[in-house]
Structures are given as structure tokens and as C-alpha cells.
Amino acid sequence: MALVKITQNTPAHWAYRAIRWAVVAAALLYVPWFAHQPARIDQFTQVAAFAVALLGLNLVMGFAGQISLGHSAFVGLGGYITVILVAKHDWGYLQTIPVVIVICFIAGCIVGLPALRISGLYMAVVTLAVGAVFPIIVLKYDGLTGGANGVLAKNKMLPPSWTPFDAHSRFGPVAYRYLVVLLVAVVMFVLTHNLVRGRIGRAIIALRDNSTGAAVSGVNLGVVRTVLFGISAALGGVAGTLLIIQLPQATDGRFGLELAIFLVVALFAGGTGRTSGAVPGALIYVFLPYYAIEWAKHISFLKGPGASSVSGVIYGVLLLIFVFVLPGGVVDGLRRAWGFVFQVIPRPMWLMRYRGEAPLGTTAHGGSPPMEVDAHAVDAPHTPDATGPGSVPEHVAKADTTDRSLSSTTNQHPVFEGETPR
């Protein structure tokens, strides 16, 4: 039983939602002042960037039920496009985002073409191959990508003069980059949230639950699967751009196959099937390895040249604990725990209109209000002798009596010529 119960679509429910989002916004904006070191602000910037990457991966794995093990290729593609345009063509960091979205969307649609024929483990092998081949392509075309040395943009994103951040201080540029990355991430989350709650999102979920039923209902399976991979790749490309804003250097090791595997693990640890699951997944991905290394340094028998390898083992064990303790992810565990404190009692708009509780002139879909029904016309007896509302006109009553007499006559046994009537 919840301690506090709130009914949906009431002023208390609206105030509860407003306070909740205000607390979240205040916590996100307070991060630059909470972190006393620029490196910690950089970590939170990485969290916002990886959250966008997990958001795109969640569309394929959480909402569509497909398996994608090559998401690092799209993140790396977006990162390389941004750093090349910035370092070699003097573009602005944010100006590269539209180009990244278009190119990564096309690349994602191309990778999603095999999904028209295959799925499951076969599709996992295809996407895994994409993630494994991407670093090889980067090393092969070293004239464009810089090879093993990568590409480095000498000019980092600095705050303009009209902002309250000092471009020459330690915290000013780092805090400004964090807020820029956070703003882009929020825009991506809002767009994706509206996408999955709309018609396309319902088609994606129907495709996941029952592809045959979705096809019968008119969902074009091929188009939905292909476009879905394209949108997921576009979000991954935007995440790569945000990572370049945080650290303007792209190398093959930064976007290797290890990134793809740990993104999948972080997604399941955070929670699949919900857009909010990308946030705790990104927190786990960024901070869990960091604290695992710190813990390994303070354990005497783990000190030495192999401490980093042992920290990786600790990281894997902690991830397994997350998966077994919270099989639905951190988001599912938080929702269950929060359910013991607050409970929202459903009261949709159609039920409010049925009970007469909805405001006049409003409908669930913004249409006109339902037609009014005369209660007297429904409750009054329909007899030929009644007058007033609900009465039946005399000619209608006579016609009804005639029809009944004819019906009773036709239902009698027929009389043939020469036969005595019964």
C-alpha cells in the first residue's frame, strides 16, 4: 500500500508532476556547481552523451525487440564526421549535428536492410560484424581518419562572451560544454519520447509483440524496421558528436567493439523498454568502472601492475549483480520502490467524460464534445397512448399493428387448393 495516493488528471497530480520535473531540472543544472573538479564535470558530460547513445540503442533492443551489437560504429561515425569537419573545414561543433543525423540515418537504414529477412541471433551477428569492421575501416583510410593517431581538433568549444561563463577559467569552458551537451541530450530525449508515444511507437511495439498481428493491422514491417535502425543510428551519431564536444579527439580505440558490448550491458542494467532507462545506464557505464578502479587501488592484494585488469573483473561482477538483483533494470527497481510512497490512480479522460467529470468542450483527442442525450426520451415509455416526450405517433402505432398482423398471418400453415383449413 502506498503512503500517498494521487488521482490522475487532478490538480494534485499536475502539481506532483511539475514538482518532480522541477527537481530533476534543478539537479541537472546544479551538477557544475556540485562538482568541485573539472574532471568530474567532464564525467557528467559523458553521462549525457552516452545517455543519447543508449537512447538510440533502446529503440532497437528495448522497443523493437531486435538485437544490435554494433552501435559503437554509429557513435564513432558521428564522432569522426564532427571532428573532421571541425578540424579540417573549420565548422562549428553544433553545425555538424544536421550532417551527422543525415549520414548516420542513411548508414543505419543500410545496416537495417538485412532485418527485412533475418532477425534474432542472425541479426546480432550482422550488427556485431559492423561494429568489428568499423575500426578496421578507420585504420585503412588513414588519410581521412588519421589512422591509429586519430583526428584531433585543436580548438575546443569555448563559451561566448555573452554567457556568464569565463572562457579563461578552469570551470567556465567545462561547465559550458556540459550545459550544451545536456541541452542537446534533452532535445533528443523529448523527440524520442514523443516518437514512441505516437503512431510510430505503437507500430514498433506491435512489431515487437506480434509481427504477424502488426502486419495484419496494416503496419509495413519492412519500412518500420529499416527506419527504426536509421533513427537509432542517427541518435548514436549525435552521441558521437557530443562526445567530441567533451573531448575533441577521435581514435579507433575510442569507438571500438568494446564500446558496443558495454553499451548493451549498460542498457540492460539501466532498463529497457523505457526512455528513462538510458540515464541510469549511462551513469553505470561512466562511474562504475571509475569507482571499480578506485576500489582496486585501496585493496592491498590487488595493488600492482595488474590492478586495471582486476578492476575490469570487479566491473563485470558488479554488472552481473545488477542484472540478477534488478532484472528489469534500475528504472524498474526505482519505480517499484517509489510505488510504495506514491501511487497514481488512473483516471483517463474518456472515463471522466463518461462520468461527466471532464471539463465542458474537451475530449481525449481534442475533438468536439459528445452529443447531449435527452433523458426523457430514453426513460419515457413508448406506448401509443402516451403523450409528450417519448410518445409514439398514432400512424406509426397503426403501421406497427398492421405489420404484426401480417406477420402472424404469414407464419400460419399455408392452405392449398382443395385443402380444408386447419
Q: What is the pLDDT of residues 235-283, one digit of tens each?
A: 999 999 999 999 999 988 889 888 888 898 888 888 888 888 899 989 9
Whether residue 336 contacts residue 279, with contact meaning beta carbons closer than 8 Å, is answered with no
Dist CA 82 CA 93 (whole Å) = 7
pLDDT of residue 205: 86
Do residue 103 and residue 179 come from a single domain? yes
Dist CA 304 CA 289 (whole Å) = 18
Do residue 96 and residue 32 come from a single domain? yes
pLDDT of residue 46: 93
Q: Is residue 373 assigned to a domain?
A: no
For 408, residues 6+ apart whose C-beta sits below 8 A from its C-beta are none
Q: How confident is the model at residue 385 (pLDDT cuts 50, 70, 90)?
A: very low
Q: How confident is the model at residue 197 (pLDDT cuts 50, 70, 90)?
A: confident
Domain final position from 344, 370, 390: 344
Dist CA 29 CA 384 (whole Å) = 75
Do residue 335 and residue 388 come from a single domain? no
Do residue 185 and residue 271 come from a single domain? yes
Give the residue with greater pLDDT, 266 vs 377. 266
Q: How far is CA 93 from the centre of its chain?
A: 25
- Which helix H or strand E contains 9, and what residues bound it? none
Dist CA 103 CA 85 (whole Å) = 13
For 34, residues 6+ apart whose C-beta sits below 8 A from its C-beta are none
Q: Is residue 290 assigned to a domain?
A: yes
Q: Are strands 4-7 and 342-345 parallel, antiparallel or unpaired?
A: parallel
212-218 average pLDDT score: 83
Give the residue with greater pLDDT, 128 vs 10. 128
Q: Is residue 109 assigned to a domain?
A: yes
pLDDT of residue 183: 94
Do residue 57 and residue 178 come from a single domain? yes
* Nine cell digits for residue 40: 568530474
Q: How confident is the model at residue 77 (pLDDT cuts 50, 70, 90)?
A: very high
Domain final position from 291, 318, 344: 344
pLDDT of residue 79: 93
Q: How confident is the model at residue 371 (pLDDT cuts 50, 70, 90)?
A: very low
pLDDT of residue 146: 86
Q: Is residue 185 assigned to a domain?
A: yes
Do residue 244 and residue 117 come from a single domain? yes
Do residue 385 and residue 295 come from a single domain? no
Q: Is residue 363 assigned to a domain?
A: no
Give the residue with greater pLDDT, 166 vs 53. 53
Question: For the segment 289-313, what is each residue's pLDDT rounded down to a tens digit?
Answer: 887 777 766 666 556 555 556 666 7
Give the residue with greater pLDDT, 344 vs 311. 344
* Nine cell digits for residue 250: 577521435
Q: Is residue 167 assigned to a domain?
A: yes
Do residue 340 and residue 384 come from a single domain? no
Do residue 188 and residue 289 come from a single domain? yes
Do residue 337 and residue 387 come from a single domain? no
Q: How confident is the model at residue 373 (pLDDT cuts 50, 70, 90)?
A: very low
Please return the burial class of 223, using the count of CB atoms within 10 Å of its CB with bins 0-12, 13-18 and 19+: exposed
Q: Is residue 355 assigned to a domain?
A: no
pLDDT of residue 408: 46
Whether residue 173 contacts residue 159, with contact meaning beta carbons closer than 8 Å, is answered with yes
For 98, residues 6+ apart whose C-beta sits below 8 A from its C-beta are none
Question: For the segment 132-156, what is each residue's pLDDT rounded down to a tens digit?
Answer: 999 999 998 888 888 888 888 888 8
Do residue 49 and residue 185 come from a single domain? yes
- The CATH number given to whatever domain includes residue 240 is 1.10.3470
- Which helix H or strand E contains 48, and what residues bound it? helix 38-58
pLDDT of residue 344: 80
Do residue 320 and residue 399 come from a single domain? no
Domain final position from 293, 326, 344: 344
For 25, residues 6+ apart whose C-beta sits below 8 A from its C-beta are none
Domain that includes residue 95, residue range: 4-11+26-344
Please tell me the total count of domains within the chain: 2
Q: Is residue 410 assigned to a domain?
A: no
Residue 118: left (phi > 0), alpha (psi -120 to 50), or beta? Answer: beta
Percent share of the chain, pLDDT over 90: 23
**First-last CA distance in the chain:** 74
Dist CA 129 CA 107 (whole Å) = 14
